[in-house]
């Protein structure tokens, strides 16, 4: 209730804004919104338009990721990182609405059989933090898009170490087998198109492990939708 009584604030720096879920001008200018032209699969920005919407980048062609599509609202950077940290650790679950507001543009309208599924937290971490930020974003997206959300279709069977600083192979090893579709969820998952929701996409190891588990569990396809993604120039 308090949220409604107070003036809306910029999710980046806290300056008072005219409307809720809006950034102040300075923070807004620092954001890089992602969209076309980009790789039809991983969403990596292309320097020049061409090849239509489905052309894929060299990396996806050489080594196809286990997911069908990846889209993010903004490129990872100082402000997107701060917003994600506030949502995660500062007891500001209302920020999930703001992120959903910006992510909604990548949800294709008229999609059928789509189910929003958050990247799960391990239950110890969930118990400590009190909420899963990805589940809050998925719920907010569900309310705004009308698409159903399946918050318990994917579980994290063990706590995974921080992936930061690990090499590609070690990251993949760290999350291997960490995600599972519980047997009771298989029926609801069968043949569905999954929109896997997360806050930040960095190396992609977690998203890849989740996508593999969802497909093994019967999902027809897996798209990843996140608030911010790392855009490495050397990826192109
Ligand atoms: Zn600001
Ligand atoms: Zn790509």
pTM for the whole structure: 0.91
Residue 111, pLDDT score: 67
Distances in Å between the alpha carbon of 148 and those of 68, 141, 192? Answer: 20, 9, 11
Alpha carbon of 39 to ligand 2 centroid (Å) = 5
Rounded distance between C-alpha atoms, residue 224 and residue 230, angstroms:
14
Ligand that comes closest to the CA of residue 9: 1
Cα dihedral 186, 192, 197, 202, rounded to 10, equals 90
Ligand that comes closest to the CA of residue 62: 2
Helix (H, G, I), strand (E, B) or coil at 70: strand
pLDDT tens column, 196-219:
999 999 989 999 999 999 999 999
Alpha carbon of 81 to ligand 1 centroid (Å) = 13
Ranges of the chain with pLDDT below 70: 1-5, 50-53, 110-111, 233-236
Residue 199, pLDDT score: 96
Q: Which residues contact 20 (CB under 8 A, 6 or more apart)?
A: 8, 97, 98
Alpha carbon of 35 to ligand 1 centroid (Å) = 22
Alpha carbon of 215 to ligand 2 centroid (Å) = 20
Instruction: Tally the C-alpha atoms within 13 A of residue 145's C-alpha that lie toward its C-beta.
Output: 27
Alpha carbon of 98 to ligand 1 centroid (Å) = 13
Residue 189, pLDDT score: 95
**Ion ligand 2: residues, Cβ under 5 Å:** 39, 41-42, 44, 57, 60
Q: Are 57 and 46 in contact (CB under 8 A)?
A: yes
Single out the residue of 99, 102, 132 nearest to residue 118, CA to CA. 132
Residue 135, pLDDT score: 96
Single out the residue of 66, 75, 44 nearest to residue 206, CA to CA. 66
């Amino acid at each position: 209730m308090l949220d409604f009584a107070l003036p809306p604030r910029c999710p980046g720096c806290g300056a008072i804004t005219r409307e809720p879920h809006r950034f102040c001008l300075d923070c807004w200018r620092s954001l890089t919104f992602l969209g076309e032209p980009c790789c039809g699969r991983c969403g990596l920005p292309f320097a020049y338009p061409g090849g239509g919407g489905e052309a894929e980048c060299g990396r996806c062609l050489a080594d196809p990721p286990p997911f069908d599509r990846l889209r993010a609202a903004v490129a990872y950077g100082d402000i997107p990182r701060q917003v994600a940290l506030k949502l995660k650790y500062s007891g500001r679950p209302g920020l999930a609405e703001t992120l959903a507001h910006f992510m909604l543009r990548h949800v294709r309208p008229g999609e059928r059989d789509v189910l929003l599924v958050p990247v799960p937290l391990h239950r110890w971490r969930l118990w400590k933090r009190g909420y899963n930020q990805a589940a809050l974003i998925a719920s907010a997206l569900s309310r705004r898009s009308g698409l159903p959300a399946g918050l318990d279709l994917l579980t994290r069977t063990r706590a995974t170490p921080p992936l930061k600083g690990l090499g590609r192979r070690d990251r993949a090893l760290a999350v291997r087998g960490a995600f599972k579709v519980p047997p009771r969820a298989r029926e609801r998952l069968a043949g569905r198109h999954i929109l896997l929701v997360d806050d930040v996409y960095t190396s992609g190891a977690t998203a890849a492990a989740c996508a593999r588990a969802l497909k093994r569990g019967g999902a027809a396809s897996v798209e990843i939708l996140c608030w911010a993604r790392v855009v490495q120039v050397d990826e192109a």
